[in-house]
Structures are given as C-alpha cells and as structure tokens.
Structure 1
Amino acid sequence: MNSNEIRGWRRSFSVRPGPWPALLAILAIVLLAGCASSDSSALSPQQTSTSDLAGAKEVDPAMRERVSRALGRDPDEETLRDALKQQPDNVDAAIPLARSLLARKCPDEALEVLDTVLSAAPGDLRALNAKGVVLDHEGRHQEAQALYREALATQPANPMLRNNLKLSLALEGKAEPATASSQPQTNGQHALARSK
C-alpha cells in the first residue's frame, strides 16, 4: 500500500463536517436522559411495593428467596418454618431449623423452635437431645444434662443421649462414673448433627 492509498483510506473513515457530529450528540443526550429517568421502578423489574406484598395471598418463591437473603436467612429456613406451622410436632423440620439458627448465632430462636416442638410432642427424644445440645452450646450445661437424663429415663441405652450427657459433663468439668456400655463416642463433635 502506498502513501496515497493510505491517505485515501484515512479520508474515507474520518469524520466529515456536517450533521453527523450534531446527530451523535443528540443521540447521546437522549440515551443519557433515559438513564436519568426519575421513575426508579423502571430500573429494576424485581422491585415490589410493600402494599403489593401485603395484599398478596402467596409470595413468589423467588421473591421469598431475595427477602430471605436480605434478612440473612437461608431460604430453606422459611421452608422449614412453613412445615412447622403446618405440623407443630415435626421434629424432622425443627432440628435442621434449630441447627441453621444456631449456625447464624441465634440460639434463643433455636430454643424457641425446639420448645414449640416439645410442647406439641412432649418427651420426643430427638427434640430433647437437640435442645440439650443448644443449651450446652450456650454454656447452660446443667439444664442440658437435665434434658439428657430425662430422655435417658425413657431409653437408657441410647448411645447418642449417653454420649451427649458425658460430653456435657466434660464441658462443665464434671465426670460421671463410666460403665462398659456408657463409654462416650470420641469423634469430638458435639453438635445438632447428633440429633438426627
């Protein structure tokens, strides 16, 4: 390519005086004006007014998930809460919910959930154990030990309950006389996972 061809090529792509620069400026202003619109609801189709939510008979699951995340809740927590509303004695929903609440550092809410289940299903071994674990987690070892003993009165050979009682005693700095059948499991975990 020689120098004359290069100059000709450059001229064909250069901006020529005329209406084009003015039209481009107007187009840019129109586009920017659309972005600066005072109608903020046009910016996010996901926004819903509070009054619309209050009147809704059922909340969209995607909306529920966004609200849950905004509140720091796991969407599964809401599902578990709904299950407990329908069946207050649902231990299978209460234990994972209590575990989730404990992980979020909400032990009082976890205890409230377990108390509700225990009022609907008094003496449920798994719920008693789960509440004991939460109490141990909060340093309320004597209350936890009372629950473990209450549950052990029903099922004295239950290894989960025996192990958690021994762990609770160890956390408090006490020891209970050990028998061959009451040796604690030594996996080092003391969590609601044992309540399964």
Structure 2
Amino acid sequence: MLAALLGLLILSACASQDGPAVREPDGAARLRVAAAAEASGQADIALSMYGVAAAAEPGRAEVQARFAGALARAGHLVQAEEVLNRALAHHPDDIGLLSQLGRLRVREGAAEPALDIFDRVLARAPRDVAALDGRGVALDLLGRHAEAQVSYRAGMAQAPANVAIANNLAMSLLLSGHAAEALLILEPLARRPGVPPRVATNLAIARAAAGDAAGGRALLAGQPTEADLDAIVGGLGGGPAAWPGQS
C-alpha cells in the first residue's frame, strides 16, 4: 500500500551552407535552453541539449552535474553515474557533483550512502539547500523522520519559496503521523500558481489521512482512484515508513 504513495511522490545550433556561419551558443546559453525545454516538458530536447553542453565542456563540473541530473531524471541511472564518476575524478570535492551523486543514491534507494554524501556536502556548505533537502529525503528513507524534518526546515529557512522542499517536509510529517501539520504546509502550497500536480495529490492524501476523505477525493479527478486513496491512507495508519521524495 505504501508503495502506491512512493510512486505518487516519489522533467544545435546549425550553420547555413549558403550563408554566414551561425555562432554556436556558449555553455551558459545551452544550459538556459536545456532548462527552458525541461521546464516546458520537452525532456528529450532538454537531455539532448545538456548532452551537447557536457560534450563541449568536459572539464566544467557544473555542466557535467546538470547533464548527470537530467540523465537521472530520465531514468538513465547508469549513464548518470558514469558522467558523475568521470567528473568527480577531476573535481572530487565539487558540491554540485556530490549533490547529484547523493540524489542518484536516493533514486537507487541507497539511503545510507546518500546520507554520507549529503553530510559531506554540508560539512563544506552548511546552508546548501539542495543538500539539506537531499539529506532529509535520505533520512526519511531510513525512517528517521524527526531528523529529516529538521533538515527540511533548515533548507526552508534558506529558501522559503522552494516548493519541493516544502512538499517533502509535508510528506515527512504525514508519514510520521502528523497529518494536521502536513495540511498546514500543503493547503497554501497547492494554491501557488504553477506548482507540480503531485502537490495537489499529496494534499488529497493529507486531507484523507486527517479524516476528510471526501475532501481528499474531491481533489483527485480520478488519479489515484478512491480505492488507491483508501489503501494509501490505510498504509499510513500502519506506522511511519520511508519514502523517496522527489526534489
């Protein structure tokens, strides 16, 4: 039953042969195009652009980290690890590369190694929001929800508008039996323009877990089904569990 919740929680330039050559975009421009493509749901184009940028600047840690993150989001975990390992061989202490490796470990369900990596990042950059969020997810995977919530709150103190970390905090609270507190976060979060659909789904789960099953179902528009929602809430009632939140 909790597996259903995990699934819910847990994105060229060319030259004319006849006219003057068109200048290729530099690395920053490629990354901007890739990020815009990913934000608009064009994952294949984004991944291609990240790959072009990474091939053009193999020694630039930031570009390699962005490419590895895109590969991981697309499900290409082996390729993402290869990119990260190559880059880390030259930049072993780069925070961006280490954070992406930590996220990769989370995706693999390897919570202890992920926690070690995020702790390593935070030793160098205690206010790093991505690492604080990732550390929270790793702790939630280990069932250490109270510690996870401390990490999420530290991240929110640095980035109050960050939707992903607020959502992760809410779900951690929900999984540790604090549905009312989760609702206090999710209700205003779901009203923000442009938030991911999973926020509304998580709000529905929180409402149902807090005893408002009808209010939860009203938000779902059929996904998940009422039976799915009942199973998820029933699973939550069985005690706290780990979950791979998506940051």
- What is the Cα deviation at residue 162 of structure 1? 0.2
Aligned residue pairs, count = 122
1:43-75 Cα deviation digits (max 9, x unpaired): xxxxxxxxxxxxxxxxxxxxxxxxxxxxxx823
Q: Which residue of 1 aligns with 2:223?
A: 185
Q: Tell me the equivalent position of 2:174.
A: 136
Q: Secondary structure at the residue paired with 1:102?
A: helix
Q: d(CA) in 2 for partners of 1:107 and 1:170? A: 20
1:176 and 2:218 equivalent? no
Q: 1:83 aligns with which of 121, 129, 136?
A: 121
- Assess if the C-alpha contact under 8 Å between 2:203 and 2:216 holds in 1: no
Higher relative CO (CA 8 A, sep ≥ 6), structure 1 or 2? 2
Deviation at 1:126, TM superposition (A): 0.3
Contact 1:84 1:90 in 2 (8 A): no
Counterpart-to-counterpart distance in 2, 1:144 and 1:182: 17
Structure whose alpha-carbon radius of gyration is higher: 1
- In structure 2, list runs of 5 or more residues that go unmatched: 1-110, 237-241
SS of residue matched to 2:215: coil
Describe how 1:34-45 pairs up with structure 2 within 5 A: none
Per-residue deviation at 1:78? Answer: 2.1
Q: TM-score, normalised by structure 1?
A: 0.52
Aligned to 1:165: 203
Alpha-carbon shift at residue 120 of structure 1 (Å): 0.6
Alpha-carbon contact 1:88-1:120 (below 8 Å) kept: yes
Q: Which amino acid aligns with 2:209?
A: L
Q: Deviations over 1:93-144 (max 9, x none)?
A: 3333222212322111100100100001112100110000000001111110
Find the aligned partners of 1:144 and 1:121 in 2 and give their Cα distance: 18
Decide whether the 8 Å contact of 2:208 with 2:216 is kept in 1.
no
User: What is the match of residue 119 of structure 1?
Assistant: 157
- 1:74 aligned counterpart, secondary structure: helix
Query: Residue 117 of structure 1 aligns to which amino acid in structure 2?
Result: G
Question: 2:114, 2:245 → 1: CA distance?
Answer: 20
The answer to whether the 8 A contact 1:130-1:192 is kept is no
Using the size of structure 2 for normalisation, the TM-score is 0.43
1: distance between equivalents of 2:189 and 2:222?
A: 16
User: Structure 2 vs 1, CA of residues 107 and 184 (structure 1 numbering), >3 Å: closer, same or farther?
Assistant: farther
| One-letter amino acid matched to 1:90 | V
Q: 1:148 to 1:184 in 2, by over 3 A?
A: farther
Q: Name the CA distance, whole Å, in 2 between partners of 1:169 and 1:115.
A: 22
| Structure 1 unaligned spans of 5+ | 1-72
Q: In percent, how many aligned pairs have the same letter?
A: 18
Query: Which region of structure 1 is more displaced relative to structure 2, 156-165 or 183-192?
Result: 183-192
* Partner SS state of residue 224, structure 2: coil
